[in-house]
Amino acid sequence: MSNEVKSRNGAFKVPDWLFEFHGHKCPYSVVGYRMGVVALRELGVERCYDHDLFVFSEMGVGHPQGCMQDGIQASTSATFGKGQMHKVYFGKVAATFYHPEKGAVRILFTNEFMDKLGTHEFFKFRKQGIEPSQVPAEAAQGVINMVLNATEEELFKIKRVPDFKFEPVPSSFNKAKCSVCGEYVFERYLRVKDGKLVCLQCSGHRDDEQTIYLPI
C-alpha cells in the first residue's frame, strides 16, 4: 500500500482510477482517500476484501464534502455496495472506522485545513455554481495538490474510540417470492398481508414508516 501512494518527492499520490470512479477531480475525494489510508494503518488492517471493516461517515446531505466518501471507499474497499459504509448525518467531515478485532478510530478533517482549502480559487468557481468537472483543470489540480502535499498532522485529528460498539446485521440468503408481484424479496424485507408474504411495495409500506426488523 505505501508504494502505491507515495511519489518520489514525498508528496502523497492517488491512483487515476480514483477520479474515474468518482467522476470528477476534486479535493475532498483525495481527502477521503488519504483518510482511508490512515485508518487502515491505525487499525493495522489491509483493505476490506470482504466484510470486516465498517465505516461510519459523519457526512450529511446538501454539502459538497460528501465526495470524501468515494475517496474512503477507493482506498479501503469498505464500500457502500458491500454494506460496509454507513452514513450518520452529523454534517461533519469525519468518519469512524471499525474492525471487530481491532477496534475503532475516528478521523476528523481539521478545521484549520478546511479553512485553508476553502480559500483556494477552486471554491470560488464552486460557489458560483460551477460543477467540479467544469472548473478549469489548473484550478482543480491546484487544490488537489494542496491535499497531496499536506502532512497527515495538518489534515487529520486521529482518535481511538475504545468503547465503540457495532453489531452488523446478520447476512442471510433466505428469500421468497412476493405473492402479489412475484418478485423475489430477501426475508428481512418480507411482510405479511392477508396471511400472505408480500414485498414492501405491495404491502402498502410508506417511506416514512419505520422498518421493523424481524428476528431471524
Which residues contact Zn ion (rule: CB under 5 A)? 26, 29, 67, 178, 180-181, 199, 202
Distance from the first to the final alpha carbon of the chain? 39
Q: Is the dihedral of CA 165, 51, 173, 86 positive or negative?
A: positive
CB neighbours of residue 103 within 10 Å: 16
Closest distance of CB 176 from Zn ion, Å: 11
Measure CA 200 to chain center: 27
Say if residues 194 and 178 touch (Cβ distance below 8 Å).
Answer: no
Q: Which is nearer to Zn ion, 51 or 196 (CB)?
A: 196
**CB 202, min distance to Zn ion, A:** 3
CB 205 to Zn ion: min, Å: 10
Least distance to Zn ion from the beta carbon of 50, Å?
27
- Rounded (to 5) percent helix, strand, coil in the chain: 35, 20, 45
**Which is nearer to Zn ion, 94 or 143 (by Cβ)?**
143
Which CB sits closer to Zn ion, 41 or 79?
79
Cβ closer to Zn ion: 26 or 37?
26
Alpha-carbon distance of 198 to 113, in angstroms, equals 51
